[in-house]
Amino acid sequence: MSNQRPSTIDDVARLSGYSVATVSRALRGLPNVAPATRARIEEAADRLQYQPDPAAIGLATGRSRAVVMALPNLSSWYFGQIMAGAEAVLSESGHDLLVFTLPPTADKRLESFRSPTVARAAGFIMVDLQFSSQEAMTLQATGLELVSIGTSIGGFGTVRIDDIGVAEMAVTHLTELGHRRIGLLAGQNDDPFHFDVPRERQLGYRSALIQAGIPLDQDLEQPGNFSVQGGADAMNTLLDLDDPPTAVFAMSDEMAFGAMQAARSRNLVVPDDLSLVGVDNHDLAPVVGLTTIDQSADEHGVLAAGLLIERLAGDSPDPVNLQAPIRLITRQSTAPPPS
């Protein structure tokens, strides 16, 4: 019951009768260690419950075992799913998950990229973020293993979905139901991150309309900022139109929820008066009966973390681009337009 000083590599060396160098090599699975030696050392190590000190390793190698995850925020549903997925994989392989929200201004971002904690981490996962080439260069210069979720960046491993396809799938679902006047709840107009997901979904929305022979209308595209409140506001703008839409595609479920609220406050019934499609398959989508495109968000985290670990292990040479699956889930929020 003594105050157990944690044992060091020296203790293991002493107990096993080898030098610290050999112990280090043996325990890390490096070649050029006699099998018998390795066995004896391993036995000594776990007899002493030896656990290498991350700080010491960090000092000696210049890299920590932490994986840094940069997100726009920590509180939205989608990001929670991603963190959860990534954490599960990373903890499995003995990595720590360091989360932080990215400052909105470019110089503050650069500053944080240069901070030793980030620069000397093992890997870096960024979510739904995009930035100047200078920022990308800074990050590359750190020698970090880089993975991006939701958006493609040169030199990064990438996990994303077919964002154009998502929008097409959603809007086509609406046109097939007979809708001809279809609104769009989009991102923000002045996005500091130059996030390209909204752009691509907008593209998909337009392309689906064109394919259905429906004319575009600028007024039908409203920024909703990917938030509940933003969705409600945008929906209200749409409903105030002279010729309001009979259906709306929201780029995220949270915006769709806001839209639902806006519709209800005007005594409109979903889907009788208004059809609604979102994206995400949020936990609460089934609760309110929202038709949506599932993109299994937690899987994004799992894939990104897996990619990172593979590359850290030295497998998979070049940056890989993974595309996660999507699928339409129809619920009660979509129906043919009112006649």
Q: Applying CB under 8 A, which residues contact a copy of itself?
A: 3, 6, 49, 51-56, 58-59, 64-66, 73-77, 79-81, 83-84, 87-88, 91, 96-101, 114-117, 119-120, 141, 228, 254, 257-258, 260-261, 283-284, 286-288, 298
Q: Which is nearer to DNA, 64 or 202 (CB)?
A: 64
Q: Are 13 and 20 spatial neighbours (Cβ–Cβ below 8 Å)? A: yes
DSSP codes joined into one string, 173-226: HHHHTT---EEEEE--SS-TT--SHHHHHHHHHHHHHHHTTPPP-GGGEEE-TT
Edge-first strand order for the sheet with 291-294 is: 221-223, 182-186, 247-250, 275-280, 291-294, 327-329
| 225, amino acid identity | N
Minimum distance from residue 52 beta carbon to DNA (Å): 4
Please give the residue ranges that form the binding site for DNA (CB under 7 A).
Answer: 5-6, 8-10, 17-22, 24-25, 27-28, 31-34, 36-37, 50-53, 56-57, 59-62
Q: Which is nearer to DNA, 215 or 314 (CB)?
A: 314
Q: Which does 28 bind (CB under 5 to 8 A by kind): DNA, a copy of itself, none?
A: DNA
Minimum distance from residue 275 beta carbon to DNA (Å): 59
H/E stretch holding 323 reads: strand 321-323
Minimum distance from residue 242 beta carbon to a copy of itself (Å): 27
Q: Which is nearer to a copy of itself, 287 or 313 (CB)?
A: 287
Q: Which does 34 bind (CB under 5 to 8 A by kind): DNA, a copy of itself, none?
A: DNA
Minimum distance from residue 334 beta carbon to DNA (Å): 56
Q: Which does 74 bind (CB under 5 to 8 A by kind): a copy of itself, DNA, none?
A: a copy of itself
CB atoms inside a 10 Å sphere around CB 27: 18
Q: Which is nearer to a copy of itself, 114 or 327 (CB)?
A: 114
Q: Which is nearer to a copy of itself, 103 or 165 (CB)?
A: 103
| Exposure letters 200-216 (e unless 16+ CB within 10 A, then b) | bbbebbbbbbeeeebee
Q: Are 124 and 68 spatial neighbours (Cβ–Cβ below 8 Å)? A: yes
Q: Rounded to whole angstroms, how far apart are CA atoms 267 and 271?
A: 12
CA-to-CA dists, residue 163 to 168, 226, 257, 280, 295, angstroms = 9, 15, 20, 12, 10
Q: Which does 75 bind (CB under 5 to 8 A by kind): a copy of itself, DNA, none?
A: a copy of itself
Minimum distance from residue 128 beta carbon to a copy of itself (Å): 15
Q: Which is nearer to a copy of itself, 170 or 232 (CB)?
A: 232
Backbone angles phi, psi at 280, to 5 degrees: 140, -35
